[in-house]
């Protein structure tokens, strides 16, 4: 019995052990949390920096596209402003009276002029036609020459609209500065339009400006093109803003919309170039990560926005491994401490520990074995989501497309396959993810300079319930197997089969001259009837090949019996009825991969059981054999013999209809086929 002192000591030791364990758990948990927080901030900064680089790259491409368009439009305007015709016309008009210059555009409206103005007025209709053709051909909304007084001296339109005060000021500015002037984009019946003023210099003195060429360009389609959905994220959007005096406007249909005060102030203070940061959207009341670039000359600023939720999802995906690593590290530490504690309890605990170690080694060896199998597997495997991104692949797949594994993972399908192949695979991946069913197809790829055929099988890697919970991870596991040699061997085998069948057919026709064309006619009609009946591909092939070999059993029947004109004796009839047995014995050991031998063996069976050789009836007869039975009888009826003329196909069908010997469903489909041009041609092509 323990003394009170010993009992108190034991209780104290147990409490101390529990307290020490709790302290250990708390301390290790605190260390794990500290590690997670330090790593999370680094991950967040790295992802935002990488995302900022992607956005900056997209903005650079957009600005480059706008600069190219602006340069092309400038070249277009120079075709007028630098043209000798328009420069000479503007120079001659420059020194005339203001009243004359302001009305010269109406010269073809019955207004009379005198002196040099009269000469210029005669040129107006011809020059106007050229300017109108230029405007229409290049899709401009307006094209005109304006003088220093803000007057229209020549317009592509015979009755141009008056210049607004802003347009007149811009024309005067372009003449005074000699530089191209842009007005803010404005609303018009055609959507959005941009007025541009290009100075026109004197023909003899290039330093002297004598007019301004004003062009009005529709920009709605271009704005839509420049702000097409960015590829960084499905939820990302972009807009174009313009500076209109001291205000900023969003280019929007039907008319530009003034920005909110806060957004306008930010653009004004930054000069239109906002750094990448979290701020309020310019178009809606929500927070976004945005960045903008200012475009001089046009006074435009293009901005890229991504909703906070979209970026937060990316951040969570980047931070999740840190959380998992911290939790696993903490649990591993606790398990390690527990393992050490168990190791000190005695032999039994050490035995348990040894067993755990043995199991761990077994799992490690199995993992190494699986890795080895995956490395040596010749079937290409990869996993891709519904956006076309490859997340993981094996070395065999990387070898198929001529890359390394690390160069394939996290890449898009379109960077690994030709466009047509990538489009087909992406479409099938999405179908597999939506329908949660396997799919297969065949694709051709260039491999080591040779065109190879691959069998592609796609499996969903998440079921429908998981797909709804994790939309971003929907996709398919794709396997690719090279079947080039298999297909070549299959094609060679089919060619050999065709050659063998043709040889048998020629041999059949040499035995009985009345069989000439019989097998080919059966085959052509059989293909149409099998298709009409909806037979499978194997069923159709069995009918066609069986028709070509339908008379092969007659090779073993004495020729005099086949060509005998009188009635056969019972003994001779019994010999002739061995045709299906001879055909089956000849063909049963030939690998057609189809039930051709059975079909020929049962071709002479009747639906009522009166046929031969086994007296089968109804559904016991192979469906393809029933088709061949009807076709054989029909082709024999419509073919001429030495002792009779062939029937018309109508009489032959009438004889077959209602006969208990033949499958009436096949007879009905044969009649349906014979009512088509293809069927009639097949029925008479053997004559």
Q: How confident is the model at residue 499 (pLDDT cuts 50, 70, 90)?
A: low
Q: Which residues of 391-416 are buried (b: 16+ CB within 10 A; e: fewer)?
A: eebbbbbbebbeeebeebeebebeeb
Instruction: Answer yes or no: are the C-beta atoms of 167 and 235 closer than 8 Å.
Output: no
The answer, yes or no, to whether residue 282 has pLDDT greater than 80, is yes
Domain with residue 539: its CATH number is 1.10.3210.10
* Of 243, 220, 232, 244, nearest in space to 288 by CA: 232
Model pLDDT, residue 410: 84
Average pLDDT over residues 368-397: 74
Range of the domain at 127: 82-222
Tokens of 43: 């991950």
List pLDDT tens digits, range 202-223. Answer: 888 888 898 999 999 998 888 8
Domain check: are 98 and 210 in the same one?
yes
Domain with residue 381: its CATH number is 3.30.450.20
Q: Is residue 117 part of a domain?
A: yes
The answer, yes or no, to whether residue 411 has pLDDT greater than 90, is no
Helical segments of 305-346, H only? 308-343
Q: Is residue 490 part of a domain?
A: no
Domain check: are 600 and 650 in the same one?
yes
Model pLDDT, residue 466: 44
Higher pLDDT, 34 or 161: 161
Higher pLDDT, 684 or 498: 684
Average pLDDT over residues 632-642: 82
Model pLDDT, residue 340: 62
pLDDT over 70, % of the chain = 78
Q: Considering its fold, how many domains does the chain have in total?
A: 3
Model pLDDT, residue 343: 59
The answer, yes or no, to whether residue 32 has pLDDT greater than 80, is no
Q: Is residue 320 part of a domain?
A: no
The answer, yes or no, to whether residue 81 has pLDDT greater than 80, is yes
Domain check: are 621 and 526 in the same one?
yes
Dihedral (Cα; 420, 424, 430, 435), 10-degree rounding: 170
Domain check: are 567 and 428 in the same one?
no
Length of the chain equals 687
Average pLDDT over residues 426-446: 87
Domain check: are 385 and 516 in the same one?
no
Domain check: are 502 and 635 in the same one?
yes
Domain check: are 573 and 439 in the same one?
no
Domain check: are 478 and 590 in the same one?
no
Domain check: are 543 and 573 in the same one?
yes
Q: How confident is the model at residue 503 (pLDDT cuts 50, 70, 90)?
A: low
SS3 content of the chain, % helix, strand, coil (to 5): 55, 15, 25
Average pLDDT over residues 164-190: 89
How high does pLDDT run on average in the chain?
80
Average pLDDT over residues 295-320: 82
* Of 183, 267, 179, nearest in space to 217 by CA: 183
Q: Which residue in this structure is represented by tokens 């000699």?
A: 178
For the entire predicted model, the pTM comes to 0.45
The answer, yes or no, to whether residue 359 has pLDDT greater than 70, is no
* Of 111, 148, 107, 102, nearest in space to 128 by CA: 107
List pLDDT tens digits, range 578-603. Answer: 888 888 888 887 777 788 889 889 99
Burial of 71 from C-beta contacts in 10 A (0-12 / 13-18 / 19+): exposed
Q: Is residue 201 part of a domain?
A: yes
Model pLDDT, residue 370: 45
Burial of 589 from C-beta contacts in 10 A (0-12 / 13-18 / 19+): exposed
Q: Which residue in this structure is represented by tokens 């031969």?
A: 612
Dihedral (Cα; 504, 510, 514, 519), 10-degree rounding: 10
Domain check: are 527 and 465 in the same one?
no
Q: Is residue 112 part of a domain?
A: yes
- In this structure, of 465-469, 483-487, 528-532, 557-561, the range with the lowest mean pLDDT score is 465-469
Among residues 453, 482, 511, the one where a domain terminates is: 482
Q: How confident is the model at residue 2 (pLDDT cuts 50, 70, 90)?
A: very low
Among residues 164, 197, 222, the one where a domain terminates is: 222
The answer, yes or no, to whether residue 200 has pLDDT greater than 60, is yes
Q: Which residues contact 75 (CB under 8 A, 6 or more apart)?
A: none
Model pLDDT, residue 444: 86
Most confident of 46-50, 106-110, 202-206, 662-666: 662-666
Model pLDDT, residue 442: 87
Higher pLDDT, 36 or 442: 442
Helical segments of 82-192, H only? 84-94, 98-103, 116-137, 165-177
Model pLDDT, residue 47: 79
Model pLDDT, residue 17: 61
Q: Is residue 12 part of a domain?
A: no
Q: Is residue 170 part of a domain?
A: yes
Among residues 425, 459, 482, the one where a domain terminates is: 482
| H helix count then E strand count, the chain | 24, 17
The answer, yes or no, to whether residue 621 has pLDDT greater than 90, is yes
Taking the C-alpha atoms of residue 61 and residue 53, their distance in angstroms, rounded to an integer, is 12
Q: Is residue 385 part of a domain?
A: yes
Domain check: are 628 and 545 in the same one?
yes
Domain check: are 510 and 657 in the same one?
yes
Taking the C-alpha atoms of residue 351 and residue 179, their distance in angstroms, rounded to an integer, is 91
């Amino acid at each position: 019995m323990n003394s009170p002192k010993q009992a108190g000591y034991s209780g104290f030791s147990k409490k101390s052990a529990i307290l020490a364990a709790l302290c250990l758990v708390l301390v290790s948990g605190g260390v794990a949390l500290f590690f997670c927080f330090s790593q999370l901030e680094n991950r967040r900064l790295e992802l935002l920096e990488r995302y900022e680089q992607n956005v900056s790259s997209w903005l650079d491409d957009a600005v480059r596209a706008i600069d190219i368009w602006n340069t092309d439009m400038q070249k277009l305007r120079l075709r007028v402003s630098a043209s000798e015709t328009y420069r000479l016309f503007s120079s001659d008009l420059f020194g005339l009276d203001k009243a004359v210059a302001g009305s010269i555009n109406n010269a073809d409206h019955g207004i009379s002029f005198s002196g040099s103005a009269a000469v210029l007025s005669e040129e107006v209709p011809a020059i106007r036609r050229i300017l109108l053709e230029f405007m229409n051909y290049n899709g401009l909304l307006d094209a005109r020459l304006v003088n220093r007084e803000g007057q229209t001296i020549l317009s592509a339109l015979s009755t141009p609209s008056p210049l607004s005060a802003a347009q007149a000021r811009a024309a005067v500015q372009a003449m005074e500065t000699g530089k191209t002037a842009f007005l803010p984009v404005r609303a018009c019946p055609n959507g959005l339009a941009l007025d541009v003023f290009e100075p026109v210099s004197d023909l003899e003195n290039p330093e002297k400006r004598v007019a301004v060429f004003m062009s009005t360009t529709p920009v709605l389609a271009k704005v839509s093109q420049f702000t097409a959905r960015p590829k960084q994220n499905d939820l990302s959007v972009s807009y174009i803003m313009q500076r209109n005096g001291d205000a900023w406007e969003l280019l929007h249909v039907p008319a530009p919309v003034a920005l909110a005060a806060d957004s306008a102030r930010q653009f004004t203070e930054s000069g239109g170039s906002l750094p990448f940061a979290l701020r309020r959207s310019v178009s809606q009341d929500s927070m976004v990560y945005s960045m903008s670039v200012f475009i001089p000359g046009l006074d435009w600023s293009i901005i890229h926005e991504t909703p906070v939720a979209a970026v937060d999802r990316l951040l969570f995906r980047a931070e999740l491994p840190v959380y998992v690593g911290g939790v696993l590290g903490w649990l591993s530490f606790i398990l390690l401490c527990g393992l050490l504690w168990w190791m000190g309890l005695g032999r039994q605990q050490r035995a348990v520990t040894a067993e755990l170690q043995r199991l761990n080694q077994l799992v490690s060896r199995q993992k190494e074995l699986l890795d080895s199998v995956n490395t040596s597997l010749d079937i290409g495997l990869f996993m891709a989501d519904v956006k076309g991104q490859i997340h993981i692949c094996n070395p065999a797949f990387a070898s198929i497309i001529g890359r390394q594994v690390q160069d394939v993972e996290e890449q898009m399908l379109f960077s690994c396959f030709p466009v047509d192949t990538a489009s087909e695979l992406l479409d099938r991946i999405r179908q597999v993810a939506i329908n949660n069913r396997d799919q297969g197809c065949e694709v051709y790829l260039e491999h080591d300079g040779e065109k190879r055929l691959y069998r592609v099988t796609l499996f969903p890697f998440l079921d429908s319930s998981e797909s709804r919970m994790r939309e971003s991870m929907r996709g398919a596991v794709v396997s690719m197997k090279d079947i080039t040699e298999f297909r070549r061997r299959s094609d060679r085998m089919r060619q050999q089969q065709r050659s063998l069948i043709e040889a048998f057919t020629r041999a059949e026709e040499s035995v009985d001259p009345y069989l000439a064309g019989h097998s080919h006619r059966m085959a052509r009609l059989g293909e149409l009837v099998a298709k009409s009946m909806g037979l499978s591909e194997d069923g159709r092939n069995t009918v066609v090949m069986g028709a070509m070999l339908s008379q092969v059993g007659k090779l073993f029947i004495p020729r005099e019996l086949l060509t005998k004109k009188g009635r056969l004796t019972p003994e001779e009839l019994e010999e002739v009825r061995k045709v299906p047995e001879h055909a089956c014995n000849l063909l049963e050991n030939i690998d057609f991969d189809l039930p051709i031998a059975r079909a020929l063996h049962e071709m002479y069976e009747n639906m009522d059981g009166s046929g031969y050789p086994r007296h089968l009836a109804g559904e016991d007869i192979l469906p393809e054999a029933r088709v061949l039975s009807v076709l054989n009888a029909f082709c024999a009826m419509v073919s001429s013999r030495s002792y009779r003329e062939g029937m018309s196909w109508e009489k032959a069908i009438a004889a077959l209809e209602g006969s208990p010997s033949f499958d009436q469903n096949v007879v009905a489909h044969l009649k349906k086929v014979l009512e088509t041009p293809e069927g009639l041609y097949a029925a008479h092509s053997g004559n």
